[in-house]
Structures are given as C-alpha cells and as structure tokens.
Amino acid sequence: QLQLQESGPGLVKPSETLSLTCTVSGGSISSSSYYWGWIRQPPGKGLEWIGSIYYSGSTYYNPSLKSRVTISVDTSKNQFSLKLSSVTAADTAVYYCARPGDCSGGSCYFDIWGQGTMVTVSS
C-alpha cells in the first residue's frame, strides 16, 4: 500500500534553511489528481498546514509562511520536498508529508500521512 517517508536533518541552526524530502512508495506521485501536502506540529501544539504541491509543480502556500517556503516535486524520484528559510526556534516542530484524499479547488483533506520527522532549530 502507499507509504510516505520524510527525511532530512533533525537539527538546523537559526537563520539557516530547513530542507526535507518526502518519498512516496507503493504508488506514483503522478497518479494523484490532487495536491500533496506538508503539515507541521510544534511540540504540544496543534496542526499547521505549510503548503501543497501538484505533480505538475503547481503550489499553494500558507500565507503566514509564504515568504520563506518553497515546495518542489521530482516525479522521476517519486518525491516532493520542502525548504523553509531563515528558521527560528518557532519553526521547531514535527514535520509531516501527506497524501491528498479529495480536494476542492487546491484545498484537500489528507488520508495518508508519513510518520513525521522532528526538526529542532537550535545553535
């Protein structure tokens, strides 16, 4: 069955760029007609949508993060990636990638999630 796995550094220094990759297995990222997503969760807090990407490369970003976020896709590797620049301690969180279930416009709910990866921003 389809699985998602996040990968990337667990520790990032303040002001640097956080980079994560989501690898999709058991299915093709190009087979979905919808937008794959990145969501994060700071320790002890709720869920925050970061952004979403279509396999063609079309993206949507959370306005609160838009100036710092870039999401890209590599269909040949069945991966999509997240870059978050100029990070601070407030960006410390578990970062999840997720598969869209169904969508309206560019907004989707997510039916399959990766296990999540904890990223700490600290010097």
> Given the rule CB under 8 A, which of 7-15, 17-25, 48-56, 83-91 is the region that contacts other proteins?
48-56
* 3-class secondary structure per residue, the chain: CCEEEEECCCEECCCCCEEEEEEEECCCHHHCCCCEEEEEECCCCCCEEEEEECCCCCEEECCCCCCCEEEEEECCCCEEEEEECCCCHHHCEEEEEEEEEEEECCEEEEEEECCCEEEEECC
Provide the minimum distance between the beta carbon of 56 and other proteins in the complex, in angstroms, as a whole number: 16
Please, which residue, 8 or 106, has the CB nearer to other proteins?
Answer: 106
10 binds other proteins (CB under 8 A): no
27 binds other proteins (CB under 8 A): no
* Distance in angstroms (rounded) separating the CA atoms of residues 17 and 14: 8
Instruction: Kindly write out the interface string for residues 54-93 of this chain, putting x where it contacts other proteins by CB under 8 A and - elsewhere.
Output: ------xxxx------------------------------
106 binds other proteins (CB under 8 A): yes
Please, which residue, 55 or 60, has the CB nearer to other proteins?
Answer: 60
52 binds other proteins (CB under 8 A): yes
